[in-house]
Structure 1
Amino acid sequence: MKEPMKGNGGFWDAFKGGGISPRIASMLGAPSAQQIAFVRSLTKGQRRPETLHIPLSQLKTAVFDLETTGFHYHYGDEILSFGTVKVDGEEITGEVYYSLCKPACSVPEDIVKLTGITPEMAQDAPSLLQALREFMAFVDDRVLIAHGSAHDKAFLDVALWKTTKAHLGHRVLDTMMIAQKLEPDKKISSLDDWLNAYDLPILQRHHALEDAKMTAGLWKIMIGRLKDRGVITLGDLYSFLSKT
């Protein structure tokens, strides 16, 4: 199995190069209690009011996607993989994080066919706490973005509570909701449909990192279309989405 990608640049390059503070470095290699404390610290204080005034063209975001063992976290389904790409304003930076994740439940055959993640791959993957810790460290205090974010946000919040007794504190934007608000006449919702509508190539679907990259492409286009509507800042976007 390929080693999980730790990104290329930013946090992980600094970590490998010795540029991370001793406190954070020690926590990354520390026993479980300190790992939990580190993850909990990254869930706090992420909704600073000043973020609302940042133009979308300058907003630092992390576009992410999760693959899961099913759609029902309340019936025991769990995260199988994390995929994330950093976007600075309208620039997709190329800094990525991807990791498989070892679930406590089995991987159904239909999920194997959909994602290509086999039970053997899942069994050899990092623990939920380890993958979650690395994901949270990578996204840091960025605004999170996902397509159809309710599913991903719910699984992420459940995973955080299960491992650290903390809740997700980050702002989360939904490209599906934004697209539907921009173009209400298009009665579509899936990532595939919106990629086609925006003339973006559909590459490898149902792979957390590849889906995150394609969603980042949607977000990049949306920033320009939102600007044409007079939606400049994050606060403007919230106001735009709240209008009936």
Structure 2
Amino acid sequence: MTFVVVAVVAPFTGQNQSAGDIVIGIIGCLAIAALFWWLRGRTDPEAQFRSKSKQRQAKRIKVPDNYTAIDIETTGLDTSTARIIELGAVRIRHGKPVAKFSQLVNPGFPIPADSIRVTGITDKDVRRAPDSTKALRRFLAFIGHDTLIGHNIDAFDMPIIRNEAKRDGLKPPTNQTIDTLSIARHIWPGERNRLVDVIRRLGIAKTESHRAESDAMQTAQTFEAMKRL
């Protein structure tokens, strides 16, 4: 850098040079110095490492210890028409369950046979249960503003819950969600990653009950186990 300064300034330090020439020489010197400083930053391995480190930190997703795991049972699998027949949730604080929510819901029409076969929930079970408006209002009060964890929550549970809320004149929830199905697909690509597959793989349980509160608890256990992988 010293050589560069001398090379630029020297031609303008003679006695016959005007003040303007000297100023121009100094400006040129500063410009070249700035160029060298910029190039040094571009080629400094430590500077590149620090930049990449900051990028990694910016992209890192904070894994919550406080959240609510949820699950629903429905009259079908079509998110545009399915109605909720059971709501379940487990509130987690510091990785441990502290409160549970379970509510059967009367959909207002006979439960399809396929749904009865999977869930075991019958018309008799929901006959005295509250309608979706009352049940969903209680559910939304329970989950509050918590981050919600669910298995296939983004493609199934939340679209149905939001549809029910809109249908009942309630404000649809806008909680942040984390989908354990997406996480499982990332950890075990190419494998079957239904909730029952994942809980067996992680040694949590051998079967999935297809009841909302129980499945919500297994989802929370799944999330906690995957955090340790």
- Fold agreement, TM-score > 0.5: yes
The correspondence for 1:92, drawn from 89, 97, 121, is: 97
Residue 219 of structure 2 aligns with an amino acid whose one-letter code is T
The superposition leaves residues 73-103 of structure 1 with CA deviations (integer Å, 9 ceiling, x where unpaired) of: 42x320000010011232233x100000010
Residue matched to 1:144: 148
Residue matched to 2:224: 220
The superposition leaves residues 83-142 of structure 1 with CA deviations (integer Å, 9 ceiling, x where unpaired) of: 10011232233x100000010332012211221111122221111111111111111111
The correspondence for 1:122, drawn from 113, 119, 126, is: 126
Residues 222 and 89 of structure 1: CA distance in aligned 2, closer, same or farther (over 3 Å): farther
Residue matched to 2:167: 162
Superposition deviation, residue 53 in structure 1: 9.1
- Mapping of residues 3-18 of structure 1, within 5 Å: none
Residue 80 of structure 1 aligns with an amino acid whose one-letter code is I
Partner Cα distance (1:105, 1:77) in 2: 12
Residue 87 of structure 1 aligns with an amino acid whose one-letter code is I
Residue matched to 1:180: 185
Residue matched to 2:86: 81
Residue matched to 1:62: 68
Residues 193 and 204 of structure 1: CA distance in aligned 2, closer, same or farther (over 3 Å): closer
Q: Pairwise CA RMSD of aligned residues? A: 2.0
Q: How many residues align?
A: 170
Partner Cα distance (1:173, 1:163) in 2: 25
Q: Is the 8 A contact 1:91 1:220 kept in 2?
A: no
Partner Cα distance (2:192, 2:94) in 1: 26
The superposition leaves residues 28-83 of structure 1 with CA deviations (integer Å, 9 ceiling, x where unpaired) of: xxxxxxxxxxxxxxxxxxxxxxxx99942x53211010000111242x32000001
Residue matched to 2:198: 194
Q: Is the 8 A contact 1:78 1:105 kept in 2?
A: no
Q: Name the one with the larger helix percent.
A: 2
Residue 72 of structure 2 aligns with an amino acid whose one-letter code is L
Partner Cα distance (1:154, 1:195) in 2: 24
- Give me the identity figure in percent: 26
Partner Cα distance (1:71, 1:213) in 2: 21
Q: Which runs of 5+ in 2 are unaligned?
A: 1-58
Report the TM-score, using the length of structure 2 for normalisation: 0.69
Superposition deviation, residue 222 in structure 1: 1.6
Partner Cα distance (2:156, 2:106) in 1: 19
Q: Which runs of 5+ in 1 are unaligned?
A: 1-51, 226-244
Partner Cα distance (1:170, 1:113) in 2: 31
Q: Is the 8 A contact 1:78 1:104 kept in 2?
A: no
Partner Cα distance (1:213, 1:115) in 2: 16
The superposition leaves residues 146-192 of structure 1 with CA deviations (integer Å, 9 ceiling, x where unpaired) of: 101111111111011111253321111110101211232x5112111
Partner Cα distance (1:178, 1:53) in 2: 15
Higher Rg of the two aligned structures: 2
Q: Which has the higher contact order (CA 8 A, sep 6+)?
A: 1
Residues 209 and 165 of structure 1: CA distance in aligned 2, closer, same or farther (over 3 Å): closer
